[in-house]
Structure 1
């Protein structure tokens, strides 16, 4: 392999040991040696790594990011430029040639520690521009499917979750083995066609968590889409691809599905507007089912104005219910949230009340009971939808998704019937409590967990979040996540759960609350 061309500013010799350290770091990257990589970065909170996704600050966050990212693949350093600062520090720029093609560049500040080892204090990574980020997109065009030449959504582009039929394309549901056997679709799903008829172009088919059976955004077949708001954090799912595409500016509209929070959670994690419409308001024809009792199709956008236009264009012919002006909040719901989310939520409510909003407390059924009734009935439907395929394709799914299907397989008809009775009772109790008011609650129990969060942390946050998202799920009410809460860990959505068919009023209310809570 050719040796890299090395330039040292001022024609001075390179600081002793620095070239070997830089090349050792590159070797550790290629080998994905996490322990060695951790040692190559300075310890402490001030170490930084930046790339096109943003900045990671602190040794622990950088190390955690690497743990879930996976290796970078083979590459070689073709050029190294060293600018010594003093005997113990230097700025180094390397140009690398990945085996996959293209050129990348890395800019680093190296410092020699007391033990004599060179370590990175700051790094900026410029990777070769990918033609297609497979973690976000399965298929993309320019556009993939053009919309009508005019209409209220003319000029907008759509990232379609890989659960919706797109004419002439296959549906993959986030699973490579499923995609390999899938037939070509002969018509667009009505939810896709509605956007095309309104003038939007379908830019491409975006990734989903496997079978849409997760709210994390992790996918072992295609990789984890980047979080456009919080570098080094999970994106949220299962509408992970559309959410990341919108947050990163690839598309202006994400078409997704929401069964247990799969639009609202990624919207919350990535600072987006996310609307789960009234159950049944948007056709699910041509959409792969998870749990039809709860499945909905909805949208993600970066701003409320776009969401208003999308809702008006895609809900033509639906009733437009006006909720009561009184807002309500359930104190018990906040207890499921992380302390920083609870604090941000209460601070927002206080500001709204100080500004003249009437917000009254209401009681909702026990969140644990809500979650269990939802989980049992959702799981039984998920097994009916996908169980035969899952059973005949062992090893095709991620361990966490497989575990959910295993649990679903064991739900007996008798247990499902008991849970359905609970669902009916709980939904009636929620409806009596909320009436025609809009319920305010956090869209998720925490900000986006970091990529290196362990499975127990992810599961505990998932359970807490689902206990809140189940309120809209069990009742069939619409829920709108608006990026109005701010925590040290990143954005969190303020969710508005309104009466059925109040979507347009919820968007108007979200825009009003955005103005009232503006700094």
Structure 2
């Protein structure tokens, strides 16, 4: 068993709620064990974070698992608790104790949530050096939710059926696939909520289905449901103050990435095979990177954006998230005009500035990963290119994005004070201050930056990390989230400036946490990028 690696906090005096007599006990019941269990249940009911921390053994080997994944270490478990709002009220229905020895016991409890159903908790309790009983490992099985509201706004089986093929026709390329549609796209008969309850309350059902949705239905896929988004898609974190934060199954306790957080989580959870999403400044690439998914931002304007709630039309693009490259290619091929797609020779470029914008662990893993790909003969050594001042480019991008975001949504924001979460409200407040002169100057600079990138890349595929870090912790502070956001946007905004397609390939990991290799290609090289990415992934 693990040795304490941290000073032990003082355990509170355990309360003694009414617990059932243990249904079964093997071995001699140790003193204090049931009292400690009762104290833990009291702390859980009160969401007493300090007490819960004290009841879990300190150190890096403590475990807590549930359907979302495994948390390893006391700090990770504590951070998870701090980011949630508490647990559902419950009573203990039955209790089973298996005494291992004087200092270790296994407790299995069956609980009855007030909301219905039944839960099961298995805990390994150990005696600390000070004689206190603490949980060293726990597995929690809660009643399954019919719908996880952090992931889905609406779900059906299906919500919208695929178009039926004509008599005798071959089934479409996406037959049997299911779609999680980001809550920005029109679907006839349904409303768009844009990640905000106030906006949803006033929305009217769509009278037409957005072409980006319709083409997938025509190819044989069905809509599984409408998935959550960060408010107005103005974020890349994946935390929505109104609906909660979707899980990240690859990094338990980590942010899922946004603004396509719902579609990404639905795909990663296996609840849909295609996430129909959007990418303005990284909203597909970042969740793909954080959750180990394939994600493609299409060439700007290559897919019809009619019926899509805009954020910044100069940069908004349609795109897809999948678990497998073949499904991604089929979805993209069904949606793109094949006559406009261009082949791209596998010539690669790397920018030192883009690599150094990432944190040190990503830098090291990215360089090592490229070295392994080169030694394996999967890529030729990339050319080193200078893409210019990243801070300057991001400033240009942000000015145009903000001006367009305010034009698209400013009237609604003004008419609904207090309706937005704090971070999104702050972004719209900044957007409102971008004047006409600043916008005009930024648009001139944007055209120049785009031409400069075209010349520097010269038809090569730019390789870079898909995000500046692996998934941050859900309980990370606002300053840390904003620093990560700025670093990531300085990398992801270049594709927006150039109108380029960008593919995140789930190729790399750091201590089990995924991060993507991003391929940014020439305009209309979308399908070629997927083929090249699939070859790199082997």
TM-score in terms of structure 1 length:
0.97
2:61 alignment partner in structure 1? 46
Give how far 1:395 is off.
Answer: 1.8
Shift of the 289–513 alpha-carbon distance from structure 1 to 2, 3 Å rule, reads same
2:209 alignment partner in structure 1? 188
Q: Indicate if the aligned counterparts of 1:447 and 1:492 stay in contact, CA closer than 8 A.
A: yes
Give how far 1:78 is off.
Answer: 1.5
Give how far 1:318 is off.
Answer: 4.5
Give how far 1:107 is off.
Answer: 0.3
Question: Aligned to 2:508, what secondary structure does the other structure show?
Answer: strand
Give how far 1:45 is off.
Answer: 0.1
Q: Indicate if the aligned counterparts of 2:24 and 2:96 stay in contact, CA closer than 8 A.
A: yes
2:136 alignment partner in structure 1? 121
Quote the RMSD (CA, aligned, Å): 1.3
1:290 alignment partner in structure 2? 311
2:37 alignment partner in structure 1? 22
2:6 alignment partner in structure 1? none
**In structure 2, which of residues 482, 492, 499 is the aligned counterpart of residue 476 of structure 1?**
499
1:500 alignment partner in structure 2? 523
**In structure 2, which of residues 13, 22, 25 is the aligned counterpart of residue 6 of structure 1?**
22
Q: Indicate if the aligned counterparts of 1:268 and 1:481 stay in contact, CA closer than 8 A.
A: yes
Give how far 1:385 is off.
Answer: 1.1
TM-score in terms of structure 2 length:
0.93
1:331 alignment partner in structure 2? 352
Give how far 1:433 is off.
Answer: 0.3
Shift of the 85–273 alpha-carbon distance from structure 1 to 2, 3 Å rule, reads same
State how 1:44-443 maps to structure 2 within 5 Å. Answer: 44-149=59-164, 150-356=171-377, 357-358=379-380, 359-443=382-466
Give how far 1:49 is off.
Answer: 0.3
Give how far 1:415 is off.
Answer: 1.2
Give me the whole-angstrom Cα distance separating, in 1, the residues matched to 2:201 and 2:364.
47
Residues 379-408 of structure 1: per-residue CA shift (max 9 Å, x gap): 111111111111221222211111111111
Give how far 1:490 is off.
Answer: 0.8
Give me the whole-angstrom Cα distance separating, in 2, the residues matched to 1:318 and 1:82.
68
Give how far 1:3 is off.
Answer: 4.2
Question: Aligned to 2:290, what secondary structure does the other structure show?
Answer: helix
Question: Aligned to 2:23, what secondary structure does the other structure show?
Answer: strand
Give how far 1:269 is off.
Answer: 0.4
Give how far 1:5 is off.
Answer: 4.2
Give me the whole-angstrom Cα distance separating, in 2, the residues matched to 1:101 and 1:286.
40
Q: Indicate if the aligned counterparts of 2:28 and 2:99 stay in contact, CA closer than 8 A.
A: no
Give how far 1:2 is off.
Answer: 6.6
Give me the whole-angstrom Cα distance separating, in 2, the residues matched to 1:187 and 1:23.
56
